[in-house]
Amino acid sequence: MARLNILRYPDPRLHTVARPVASVDERIRRLVDDMLETMYAAEGVGLAATQVDVHERVIVMDTSETRDNPIVLINPELIWQSEEMRLAEEGCLSVPTIYDKVERHASVKVQALDREGQRFEMQAEGLASVCVQHEIDHLRGKVFVEYLSALKRDRIRTKMIKKAREEQRDG
């Protein structure tokens, strides 16, 4: 397994639309395992392939307290979303140190393939619901800061560019 590099906003590659996985083979299983290692190392609750510059519809998540319940979603599709919406604070491994509130469907149902290529359905509420909607957005090339005002987004963009420059300088 290997840890993968996570793209940082405002990297334009984060706006790439991912294509469906044609077959769940060894290459995809290796990608899934590397994404899980990367997500756990970064202490994230989810990771989309887009964030590691692979533009195929693959998501990993683990919203358990004990960090021992990995969920793999290949070619995920939202098949139902509640009318009820909920406002909750979000963060993103591609936009470190930034947290802000985003409105999402309170509950969603997703259909996907698992690591073995088996179709399954998952109903999500709470953090898992927020997370799966956030990850599916990544696959569509959308980062959560795009739900914020243009003013906030511009401030975040400036802050991220400054932070990257400082990290470059300080090694």
Decide whether 3 or 117 has the Cβ nearer to ligand GNR.
3
Instruction: Summarize as ranges the residues that interact with ligand GNR (CB under 6 A).
Output: 44-48, 51, 90-94, 130-131, 134-135, 138
Which helix (H) or strand (E) covers residue 168, if one does? helix 150-170
**Contact yes or no for 31/55 (Cβ under 8 A):** no
Query: In the window 68-97, what residues touch Ni ion (CB under 5 A)?
Result: 92
Q: Is 156 in the site for Ni ion (CB under 5 A)?
A: no
* Nearest C-alpha neighbor of 21 from the set 75, 96, 92, 83: 75
Decide whether 75 or 135 has the Cβ nearer to ligand GNR.
135
129 binds, among ligand GNR, Ni ion, none (CB under 5 to 8 A by kind): none
What residue is closest to ligand GNR based on CB?
Answer: 44
CA distances from 50 to 23, 107, 122, 125, 152 (A): 18, 24, 22, 24, 23
Say whether 135 is catalytic.
Answer: yes
User: Shortest approach of ligand GNR to residue 158 CB, angstroms?
Assistant: 20
Of 84, 121, 125, 135, catalytic: 135
User: Shortest approach of Ni ion to residue 86 CB, angstroms?
Assistant: 18
Residues 25 and 168: their CA atoms lie apart, in Å, by 37
* Nearest C-alpha neighbor of 52 from the set 67, 71, 32, 70: 32
User: Shortest approach of ligand GNR to residue 76 CB, angstroms?
Assistant: 13
Decide whether 51 or 75 has the Cβ nearer to ligand GNR.
51
130 binds, among Ni ion, ligand GNR, none (CB under 5 to 8 A by kind): ligand GNR
User: Shortest approach of Ni ion to residue 50 CB, angstroms?
Assistant: 9
* Residue 23 backbone dihedrals phi, psi, to 5 degrees: -150, 140
CA distances from 144 to 15, 52, 64, 86, 98 (A): 11, 16, 22, 15, 10
Decide whether 105 or 134 has the Cβ nearer to ligand GNR.
134
- Positions marked active-site: 135
